[in-house]
């Protein structure tokens, strides 16, 4: 278990929802998504819950409940997903306050904050360049020949 795979889980879920939508299935349950990601349905619900709070997906309760995309998948970018799922800044400043008697200790936090802000902006600009549709197209490109043309269903049910 290394870094944090929340962005991957969320994008995987959205990508599969986009594929299902293309095939006319508008609603998926957390269990169906979990079958593709191969994790526990609760993990998927936690992830989709964050996406719901960000307005990227909608949920229906009651019998026949499940999740749907709230927007066309080409209007959902990786930046939207990242912002919904990651709260911590990319780089943390000092955990304990540095020595304010030292010029570096006193001045480095605002300075680093500015540079880190620039890096964060660059990261977000790049994330905004890719949509869920882009991910889906790139994903199925790799498997089109083996699977899609045989009409296989998108995942276990």
Residues that bind DNA (CB under 7 A): 1-2, 4-6, 9, 29-31, 39-43, 45-46, 48-49, 52, 59-67, 88, 95-96
Pick from 49, 83, 69: which is nearest to 133 by CA?
Answer: 69
Give the C-alpha separation, 133 to 72, whole Å. Answer: 9
| Cβ distance to DNA smaller for residue 29 or 139 | 29
Out of its own copies, DNA, none, what residue 15 binds, judged by CB under 5 to 8 A for its kind, is its own copies
Q: How many CA atoms lie within 13 A of 50 on its CB side?
A: 20
As measured in angstroms, the least distance from the Cβ of 49 to its own copies is 19
30 binds its own copies, rule: CB under 8 A: no
Q: Which of 61, 62, 64, 104 binds its own copies (CB under 8 A)?
A: 104
Q: Which of 54, 70, 83, 127 binds its own copies (CB under 8 A)?
A: 127
Q: Which of 22, 60, 71, 94 binds its own copies (CB under 8 A)?
A: 94
DSSP state string for 80-109: HHHHHH--S-SS---SS---TTSHHHHHHH
């Amino acid at each position: 278990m290394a870094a944090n795979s929340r962005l991957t889980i969320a994008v995987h879920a959205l990508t599969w929802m986009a594929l299902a939508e293309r095939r006319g299935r508008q609603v998926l349950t957390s269990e169906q998504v979990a079958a593709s990601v191969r994790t526990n349905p609760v993990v998927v619900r936690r992830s989709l819950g964050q996406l719901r709070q960000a307005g990227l997906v909608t949920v229906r309760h009651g019998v026949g409940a499940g999740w749907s995309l709230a927007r066309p998948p080409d209007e959902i970018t990786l930046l939207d997903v990242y912002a919904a799922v990651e709260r911590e800044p990319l780089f943390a400043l000092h955990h304990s306050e540095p020595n304010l008697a030292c010029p570096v200790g006193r001045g480095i936090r605002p300075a680093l904050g500015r540079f880190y802000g620039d890096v964060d902006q660059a990261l977000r600009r790049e994330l905004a360049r890719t949509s869920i549709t882009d991910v889906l197209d790139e994903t199925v490109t790799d498997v089109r020949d083996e699977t899609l043309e045989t009409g296989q269903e998108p995942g276990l049910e």
